[in-house]
Structure 1
C-alpha cells in the first residue's frame, strides 16, 4: 500500500542516497522549484547523498550548466548521471555503427557528440543522410511539438534497411512550464511498434542505474550497500525503474500525472490507487511535489 507523505524529511532518515529525477521534480524545464531544492539541501545537510538521475540526452557537465541557469545550486546535489552519458558510451563503442542519421535539435543536442575520453579507440562517428546510414541516434524529435507520426516515412525506410535506433532519452513527454513536448522515447516507441529495433540507456532500463551506482561509488561517501530511494514523476521511467531495480520510490504525482491522480497539494488516495493499478506499477511513497 502506497503511503502518502507530507514532506521528504518525514522518511529521509531511512535512506543514505536519493536518486532524484530532474524535470518535473527539481525544475519545470524553465526554473527550479525552491521547495524541492531546499528538500535536497536539507537531506544532504543530514548526511544524505543526492544523485541527480536524469533522462537528459546531454553529458553531465552540460546538465550541470543548464540547471545552474535554472536556479539549482551545487549544494543541492552530489553528482549527476544522465541517459546521454550512458547512450554516448554505447555510441562510441559502435552500438549502431559509425555512419549515423541524427534525430534531434541542433545546436541544443550537439553536446551529445562531445568526445568521450574514458574510452580507448572510440568509434569515429559521422553524421550522414538516412539513405547512407548504418544506424540512428535519436536525442529527440526535430520539432518537439510535432506528432511522432510525422517520422513514419523515414522510419519505414530505416526499418527496411535494418537500422538500429539508439534512444538517448526514453521519456515519452515532458512539460516545459505548462507546455507538453514530445521526447525521444516517443520516437523510439513508434519505431519499435513498426518493427524496428530500439536500444535504450535511460530510465527505466538498467544501464543508467549502473552508471549512477558507479558515480555514487566514486564519491566514496557511503557504504558498499547504501539504502537508496528513487524520486521522480515518471511512472514508466522513474517508478518502474525503481521497481525493476528493487529500490524504494517516492512518486511525485503533481508532475506528468497530476490529472490522473487528482493532485492538488497531494494526490487523491483513490485516484492514485486506481492509476497505479491501471499502470500495474507500485511505489513505496507518494507526494504532490518534492518538498
Structure 2
C-alpha cells in the first residue's frame, strides 16, 4: 500500500493514505459516489467495489451516485444492478445529463428562457444516441442557424430534425471535425456580436473505458470552445448545481457530513470542496493512474497497490484539489 508522507493535518496536497473506507467510516453520514473509475471501468465492476457499497449500506450510510454521465438519471442504478450491485444500497442517483435535461425543460430563469431552441447537437454514436425528446428543441445543421450548442458526446453530430427520439439521426464525426465545427461556431458568435453558448451535458475531460484506455469526453470540447472565446455552461461536476440536487435526496445528512469519492481531482474532489459538502476520498486507480505512477491493478487491492506520493501531490496542486484521503481502489 502507498505511504503518504503526511498525517491527517498535513499539507493539503498530501492526502492521507487509507487501506479502506472502514478506516474513516465515522467521519461521514452520506456518500457522494462517482461511478466510472471508482465502481467500474465502464463495463466491469472493480473487484472490491460491490462489497464496499454493500458495507456502506449496512453501516447506515446514505449513498447517492453523482455522475458526469450524459444520460438521464433513471437508468443509472439499473445499470449498476446488472453489474452486481443492489438497488436498495443507493438512496438515489443524479447525472449531469439529468441536470441538462431539467434545465432545458424547465427554463427556470431568464438566461435559460433566452437560450433559444435551435441547437447544434454533439452526441454519441457507438456509445448510444441521446434522445432530446420532450425538450422542444430543433437540431440544426450549421452554426448560422443555431442558438446554442448542446454537447452530450464526442463521436457524432446530430442531423437536422426535431431532436426527439427519432430526430434526424446523427453522422459520425472525428475529434478534429468537431474542433473545426467549434471554430465555425465561435466565428459565427463573433460575427453576430453575441455569445453562442455551449451547454455541456457531461463536463468530464476524459473517462476510463473497459479496454484500459481513456475516452475523450465533452468537457474537452468545452475547453476547446472556451479557448476560442466561447461560453460553456457545465451541467455536472464540478458545478454546485449537481451537488445541490444530490444533497436534496438525503436531507437528513448535514452539510459537511458527506464524503465525496471519485477519481477526478478537478471534478469529484475540487467540485465537492467548492460545494461545501465535506471531505474527499480520491481513488488513484482511475483517470489519473498513470500520472500518479500507480503500481498494482484492481485485483491487487489497496494492500497490493501503491503510487508516487510526490507525483500525486503535484497533480493535486495542479488541479487545486485537496482530498483528505487517498486509496488506490474503492474498498471497504
Pairwise same-fold verdict (TM > 0.5): yes
Question: Aligned match of 2:185 in 150, 158, 165?
Answer: 158
Contact 1:82–1:202, Cα closer than 8 Å, also in 2? yes
Quote the Cα distance in structure 2 between the aligned partners of 1:248 and 1:101: 38
The structural deviation recorded for 1:226 is 6.4
Contact 2:17–2:326, Cα closer than 8 Å, also in 1? yes
The structural deviation recorded for 1:244 is 1.1
**Aligned position for 1:71:** 84
> Is the alpha carbon distance of 1:146 and 1:281 closer, same or farther for their aligned partners in structure 2, counting shifts above 3 Å?
farther
**Aligned position for 1:39:** 52
Contact 1:168–1:202, Cα closer than 8 Å, also in 2? yes
Count residues in correspondence.
279
Contact 1:55–1:202, Cα closer than 8 Å, also in 2? yes
**Aligned position for 2:122:** 103
Farther-moved stretch of structure 1 (84-93 vs 223-232): 223-232
Quote the Cα distance in structure 2 between the aligned partners of 1:215 and 1:79: 7
Q: Does 1:282 align with 2:322?
A: yes
Quote the Cα distance in structure 2 between the aligned partners of 1:223 and 1:252: 23
**Aligned position for 1:141:** 154
SS at match of 2:229: coil
The structural deviation recorded for 1:223 is 4.6
The structural deviation recorded for 1:32 is 1.3
Q: Does 1:125 align with 2:141?
A: no
Q: Point out the structure with max Rg over C-alpha.
A: 2
**Aligned position for 2:30:** 17
The structural deviation recorded for 1:3 is 0.7
Provide TM-score, normalisation by structure 1.
0.88
> Which structure 2 residues correspond to residues 1-291 of structure 1 after superposition, within 5 A?
1=10, 2-94=15-107, 95=112, 96-106=115-125, 108-111=128-131, 113-115=132-134, 124-130=136-142, 131-142=144-155, 148-159=175-186, 160-161=188-189, 162-177=195-210, 178-217=212-251, 222-225=252-255, 227-246=257-276, 247-264=278-295, 265-291=305-331
Deviations 1:100-145 (A, max 9, x none): 111102582324x244xxxxxxx622222223221111001126x9
Contact 2:119–2:148, Cα closer than 8 Å, also in 1? yes
Mind listing any 5+ residue stretches in structure 1 that lack a counterpart? 116-122
Contact 2:62–2:90, Cα closer than 8 Å, also in 1? yes
> Is the alpha carbon distance of 1:253 and 1:80 closer, same or farther for their aligned partners in structure 2, counting shifts above 3 Å?
same
Deviations 1:223-282 (A, max 9, x none): 554610100000111011122123200000111111222222133323322322333321
